[in-house]
Amino acid sequence: MKKLLFVVVLFSPLLALAQSPFDGTWKIDLNKAQLPKKPDVYKLENGKFACDSCVPKYEVAADGQDQKVTGHPYFDTIAIKVVDDHNVETTYKRGDKTVLAEKYAISNDGKTLTVNWTDTGQPSGGPINGTTTETRVGKAPSSGSTLAGSWRAEKFDEKGDTGLLYSFKAESADTLSMSTPTGQSYTAKLDGSDAPYTGDPGITSVSLKRVGDSIEETDKRDGKPIFINKMTVAADGKTMNVVVEDKLHGTTTKFVAMKQ
């Protein structure tokens, strides 16, 4: 009996590891996503474009040329090209590399904004393409482009799975690693201590802790919390509910990931 108890105690961390409900690859189901209610706010008039909902805010010349901006880890220049009153193109660069290209199209009635985008800023996995559909909040400004005003995201689509997949692996009873096809990863203890986060210029460290049956992940930039993600695996082990609190923008996103 004593020998049996010794074996159970000795291998209990391995048993916990094998039974971790987070282990495996998960895919976000965009059809079940609950997007933020806080709108994006733009201004475009007198040859100037401004993003008032961005953190930090910025205003640049809308002349199609690269304009320097500061305080944004993902890009340091932005080019705004006004094609016509209902179409605007934007190009974001970090250094000499284009990291994001967007084409904004406003419907004839001015109530719907469709953004077709291509993300080329990931460390691996190649370009990611998708479409975001937004609806106007409130009345359009009396002056400026039809793009000007407040817009709330209603639907987010991505072509392919690359940007929707992530994998967890329990390295031990108290250590969890995460990796994605686009090159983000970390290995962190579940004790709230900071660990390096790689593959994302906007996140420098991460901390994990257990909260009941959930895991709370805090993504940080230079020690300051940027995102707080609460992840909970359903009892059947097939779905994971994730609540993402964006501390910079003051928004919350909810989504469901499916076990692959």
Structure tokens at 138: 């409130």
Mean pLDDT over residues 142-157, rounded? 94
Question: Quick one: pLDDT at residue 20?
Answer: 85
Mean pLDDT over residues 158-182, rounded? 96
Mean pLDDT over residues 58-81, rounded? 98
Give yes or no for residue 3 having a pLDDT over 60.
no
Looking at per-residue pLDDT, the higher value among 14 and 38 belongs to 38
Mean pLDDT over residues 137-166, rounded? 94
Kindly report, as residue ranges, where domains of CATH 2.40.128.20 are found in the chain: 21-35+163-259
CATH number of 21-35+163-259: 2.40.128.20
Computed over every residue of the chain, the mean pLDDT equals 92
Side-chain-side CA neighbours of 171 within 13 Å: the count stands at 10
Query: Could you report the per-residue pLDDT of 235-248, keeping only the tens digit for each?
Result: 999 999 999 999 99
Whole-model pTM: value is 0.90
Q: How far is CA 133 from CA 72, 117, 136, in A?
A: 24, 11, 10
Question: Quick one: pLDDT at residue 143?
Answer: 83
Question: Quick one: pLDDT at residue 19?
Answer: 60
Strand-pair category, 87-94 with 149-159: unpaired
